[in-house]
Structures are given as structure tokens and as C-alpha cells.
Amino acid sequence: MKICIVSSAGGHLIQCLKLLPILKKYNIFIITFKTKHLKKSLKSLKLYRINDPRRDPKKHIKNLPKIFIILRKERPNIVVTTGAGIAIPVCLLAKFIFKSKLIFIESFSRIYEPSLTGRILYFFSDIFLVQWKPLLKRYGSKTIYGGSLL
């Protein structure tokens, strides 16, 4: 089984990396932003880096060909994300073109209010987890309280 972990760099990625001990038996690759420190700290994992779109639709569109090439090469069975930025195009391409399952984990920083990424990907996710119980009321019936990753 092949698993894609996709998130923006920083806190979102740190949360995703907390899943590595339970995912280590699977073939994992990561898609995140280009940053200098990541290549060294994640050298044991397959890492793809794309440009940070910073909520700019033109930059998201420019990233699509590279995202498509990565997904076509890797063909993940599952995509796991805590969001932001690049998660939406990666998740939607993986879901609808490559038939991947989607697991979304709402960010630890979201206690009472849903994230924009969560509000969008809720409708497409196969499993939708929150890390705080108050968020259960903010999403629909398929939401699962999973506890903290941190």
C-alpha cells in the first residue's frame, strides 16, 4: 500500500509526521513546499517539493502539472493531510483521477472553528478526523474525534 502525506511546511507537516510510527510499514512519500531545511531533516523519506501557492490561484494552477506528474508516478492508495494550501489540489487530483482514498485530519490549532481546507475537503474525504471535540459540532455526521497528534 502506498500512502501520500501532503501538507504545507511547518506545523501542518509536523502533525503529519507524528503519524510515521504507525505508517512505517507502508510505502510513504511526502508532498510539501520547497524549504531549505526539509530536505535534510526528511532525508530518509521520499520527498517531493512544490512551490508555495500562498492562496494565489495562478500559483495553484502552475503547480498542477507537477502535482499530476508526482501522483501519476507514485499512484497512492491513500492520501493523508492536515491541510493547508497545497492539500486541496493534491487531494482532489488523487481522489478523482487516481482513485485514492482521502483521510483529512483537521489541524491541532483548530479548536472551535473549521479551517478553509477542512470545509472544502470534508465533502471529498473518506475519513474526516478532528483533534478537538468542540469541532464535532461544526462539521457533519461523518466527522470522527481522533484525539491529538501532538
Residue 65 lies in a domain: yes
pLDDT band at 14; cut points 50, 70, 90: confident
Residue 92 lies in a domain: yes
* Predicted local distance difference test score (pLDDT) of residue 141: 92
Q: Is 147 left (phi over 0), alpha (psi -120 to 50) or beta?
A: left
Residue 11 lies in a domain: yes
Q: Is 20 left (phi over 0), alpha (psi -120 to 50) or beta?
A: alpha
pLDDT band at 125; cut points 50, 70, 90: very high
Query: Structural domain of residue 117, as residue ranges?
Result: 2-145
Which DSSP string do the residues of 80-148 spell out, in sequence order?
A: EEEE-TTHHHHHHHHHHTS--EEEEE--TT-SSS--HHHHHHTTT-SEEEESSGGGGGTS-TTEEE---
pLDDT in tens, 24-83: 899 999 999 877 666 666 667 899 999 888 888 898 899 999 999 999 999 999 999 998
Residue 150 lies in a domain: no
pLDDT in tens, 132-146: 999 999 998 999 999
Total structural domains within the chain? 1
* Predicted local distance difference test score (pLDDT) of residue 41: 63
CATH number for 55: 3.40.50.2000
